[in-house]
């Protein structure tokens, strides 16, 4: 909704590109796979979880958003599900500091691409997923959820690689092409688009 609570003509899922294909992956024990590709799914006002998970997610590490942290920890311990029916009015206003894209203009998309290719962003993502692994392991749940932990660890490793890509363009090609050939860009980022980002916009 806009600041006057008038519909903007699209849903939050459409704004963050949570496509029907991704929704199909968000089923049962595969929910963590969708979350690894689209962490922006985890908006706090859209979540509900059982009280038994409070001790797992608390305390929140101060350097991470509480919504991303909550979603990752619970996804590492249990299966997630989503409700297709819109149940909230997400108000967008001029002074909003955090929120989904509100326009589809190509220039805004280009700016967004540039903003999310800085090494600092990749380091932060690697830190988030590594810390989530450690929290789940610290709960004594590693043996029960080792497949999910392996996915979290693989995502962290992928983001570390992206953070450490050489500065010189010609040196990036072998690193990016290998990661692309092994389909890690497709599993843990946005596929070819993310690979192009790392080659061109670093």
Peptide bond into 59 cis (omega under 30): yes
Task: Identify the pLDDT of residue 131.
Answer: 95
DSSP-assigned states of every residue in 147-159? HHHHHHHHHHHHH
Per-residue pLDDT of 51-88, as tens digits, reads 999 999 999 999 888 988 998 999 888 888 888 888 88
Which of 171, 200, 195, 175 has the alpha carbon at shortest distance from 185?
Answer: 195
Per-residue pLDDT of 3-58, as tens digits, reads 899 998 888 888 877 878 778 777 766 788 888 887 777 788 888 999 999 999 99
Distances in whole angstroms, Cα of residue 26 to Cα of each of 77, 79, 171, 192: 15, 9, 36, 22
Tell me the two tokens of residue 124: 């932060």
In the chain, where does DSSP find H-type helix? 12-15, 20-25, 31-37, 54-57, 66-77, 106-115, 119-138, 146-163, 169-181, 184-188, 192-200
- Report helix, strand or coil for 75: helix
Percentage of the chain exceeding pLDDT 70: 87
**What predicted TM-score, i.e. pTM, was given to this entire model?**
0.80
């Amino acid at each position: 909704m806009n600041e006057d609570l008038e519909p903007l003509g699209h849903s939050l899922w459409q704004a963050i590109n949570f496509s029907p294909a991704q929704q199909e992956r968000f089923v049962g024990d595969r929910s963590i796979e969708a979350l690894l590709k689209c962490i922006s799914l985890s908006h706090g006002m859209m979540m509900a979880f059982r009280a038994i998970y409070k001790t797992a997610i608390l305390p929140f590490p101060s350097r991470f958003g509480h919504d991303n942290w909550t979603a990752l920890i619970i996804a590492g311990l249990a299966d997630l599900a989503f409700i297709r029916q819109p149940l909230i009015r997400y108000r967008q206003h001029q002074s909003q500091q955090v929120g989904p894209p509100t326009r589809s203009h190509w220039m805004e998309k280009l700016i967004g691409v540039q903003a999310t290719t800085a090494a600092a962003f990749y380091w932060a993502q690697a830190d988030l997923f590594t810390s989530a692994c450690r929290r789940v392991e610290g709960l004594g749940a590693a043996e029960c959820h080792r497949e999910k932990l392996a996915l979290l660890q693989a995502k962290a490793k992928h983001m570390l690689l992206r953070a450490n890509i050489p500065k010189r363009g010609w040196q990036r090609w072998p690193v990016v092409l290998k990661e692309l050939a092994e389909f890690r860009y497709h599993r843990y980022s946005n596929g070819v688009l993310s690979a192009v980002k790392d080659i061109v916009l670093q």
